[in-house]
Amino acid sequence: MKKIVILAIAVSLLMVGGFVAFLYTMGKSGEKLERELKERNNAELGIVSLQGEHEYKTFNTQTEFVDLILSGENANVMNPAQKTPADVYSVATSQNVHNQLARMEDKKDYDFENPLIALNPYGTFPNSLYMFFETKSDCYLKYTITVQDENIPDFTRTMNDSDGSGYSKHEYMITGFVPGMENYLCIELVSDSGDYVDSRIYKINVPGSVYGNPVAIPTEMSKKVEHMSNGLFFCYGMGNNSIALYDNSGYLRGEIPLIKDSGVPIFMNTADMLIPYSDNGFARVTRSGQVTGVYSLGNYTIDTALEYNEMGQMLAIASDSDRKTMNDLIISIDLDNGKVKEEADMQKILKKVYKNINKGKKKPDKKWLMLDSLKFINGNDLIVSTGKMSSILCIGDIMSANPTLKYIIGSKDYWNDYKGYKDKLLIKQTNDEQEADTEEKEEEAEATPEAETEIDNILEPEPEEPEIFEDFKHNVGMVCEVISGSGDSEDSDSGARYYISLVENGVTPSKLQRYLINEEDNTYRHVSERELPEGHRASTLQLNVDNSIIYDKTAGRFCEYGKEGVPIISYTLPAAAVYKNSMKEFWFR
């Protein structure tokens, strides 16, 4: 019996030891994965100090690489004649290029060692390389672009593919080359399981910018650059009919041609990019650069962001050349048939306001409203911002035949002058109401614990409840964040509760404000605020992960701020607007 007990104890100890060893191994594996993810993130951030040793920065005489030659008898890169923007944004022209590439791919077996390479065949992404090859098994591609300049970071990315797990037919648009320099492209083939398969190095002399965009722009970095978000800054309104793409270190990594620069930002999903190539038209472009659709707006022009309504149409704030006013229409563009439809006329929705503003005038006030941003929510409503009136307006049933004014957030002093509108004003909660509301929520939380929603942390932490901001003053760059919840959570009704963030430019210094909108009880509440550095005034606002990106058009400067409101890095560049895109799920993993 004693032996049995000893044996049982021994087995138990072995099992415990094995479990501890398993936990230790799992911990080590988790640490390794976390370390690898951090290294990959640092490599992709594009900051020299974070990249550590540059694997491809220094070449010796034994390094083997293939020269990519663009012209002459020894040319090994397809280099089509340069197209004008009018030719670029043509479905027929783009289809002809696609057919030509398809014929070449059918005639020859292109593999990793001998891929088909073309310099910007569609004309949509200058100084980018189209690459096609096939592999015998599922693989994906990682690449690094490097130049012989220690001050310029490597550009490292992992390419996106059709199903997210690698595949055997590979078609890519390789971007990130530094214009006007000798670039080395180092590509690595990785198996579906993440193992190294093969690699090659190419050298290419990349032409300079045909638009005159500077290769490097002035930057000021803080000591917290590791907190930057991944991506490229898309700079609009450069005055040269192009969109310039800059990395986190301020180096030019790409350009997009335009017929006429409207300053309207690109809209992107996982398969297509919508490029506003003029102030009354935009094009649908695939990952590889092919133009598959061109949409003309006719008499309408737009100069603010496009918004997708999740039903196949893009929504936009527009002006009609036949009218005497600006930015007071909402139009939709059907992505299937290109049909343009006027969804809302603000002169009708705000009829009394329009009439009062223009009372006694021979000509209507051209900029009487000036809508400046929009957000489609709940599958039904459109929220628009007007800095001219320092107000937020919600238009209900926007896609119906009779859209209506659902509510207003703004100054009582302004809207109380208009009979029939003051009942549309959401009630601004007082400090006492907020405290009571907070106590009630704490009691509910004790009764039913709830997980904190990720959205609550975007502009947090806020140590104390801020004073109520009197009203919206010259608001800029509205961003709407819909709350997601489930079950009995108070946030489960995403159609009734959401956050609105915007910049208040009517105060010194300007402030990034955040409000909680509650349609159920017709209230809004000031949640948090963040002061911008003295003198910074916003022209565009973007929330990117935990950070905010604000462009100051007057100063010609844009800056990325951390979640505590501390500037991480700022750039100097005259433009009309700046937005950042990670390009994840479009070009990159």
- The full set of domain ranges for the chain reads 50-205, 277-425
Q: Which residue has the higher pLDDT, 159 or 11?
A: 159
Res 266 pLDDT > 80: yes
Strand partners, 383: 375, 394
Residue 467: the pLDDT is 35
Note the pTM of the prediction, 2 decimals: 0.84
Residue 376: the pLDDT is 93
Is residue 411 classed as helix, strand or coil in its secondary structure? coil
Taking each continuous run of H as one helix and of E as one strand, the counts in the chain are 8, 34
Res 454 pLDDT > 60: no
How many whole angstroms separate alpha carbon 567 and alpha carbon 530?
12
Q: Does residue 268 contact residue 580 with C-beta atoms inside 8 Å?
A: no
Q: Which two tokens stand for residue 575?
A: 């433009």
Q: Which of 454, 484, 418 is nearest to 546 (CA)?
A: 454
Angle at the Cα of 118 from the Cα atoms of 115 and 122, rounded to 5 degrees: 135
Res 60 pLDDT > 60: no
- Look-up of token digits 């032409």: 207
Q: Which pLDDT band holds residue 479 (cuts at 50, 70, 90)?
A: confident
Res 325 pLDDT > 60: yes
How many whole angstroms separate alpha carbon 376 and alpha carbon 396?
10
Could you read off the pLDDT of 5-42 as tens digits, one per residue? 454 454 454 444 555 454 454 455 566 656 667 777 88
Per-state percent for the chain, helix, strand, coil, to nearest 5: 20, 35, 45
Percent share of the chain, pLDDT over 90: 53
Is residue 177 classed as helix, strand or coil in its secondary structure? coil
Res 111 pLDDT > 90: yes
Residue 426: the pLDDT is 93
Q: Which of 387, 384, 300 is nearest to 346 (CA)?
A: 384
Could you read off the pLDDT of 129-151 as tens digits, one per residue? 999 999 998 899 999 999 989 89
Could you read off the pLDDT of 192-216 as tens digits, one per residue? 888 999 999 999 999 999 999 999 9
Q: Which of 198, 143, 147 is nearest to 172 (CA)?
A: 143
Could you read off the pLDDT of 345-388 as tens digits, one per residue? 999 999 999 999 999 998 999 999 989 889 999 889 999 998 88
Q: Does residue 231 contact residue 544 with C-beta atoms inside 8 Å?
A: yes
How many whole angstroms separate alpha carbon 62 and alpha carbon 71?
26
**Which of 9-23, 157-171, 535-549, 554-568 shows the lowest per-residue confidence on average (mean pLDDT)?**
9-23
Could you read off the pLDDT of 399-439 as tens digits, one per residue? 999 999 999 998 888 888 788 888 899 998 865 555 555 44
Residue 192: the pLDDT is 81
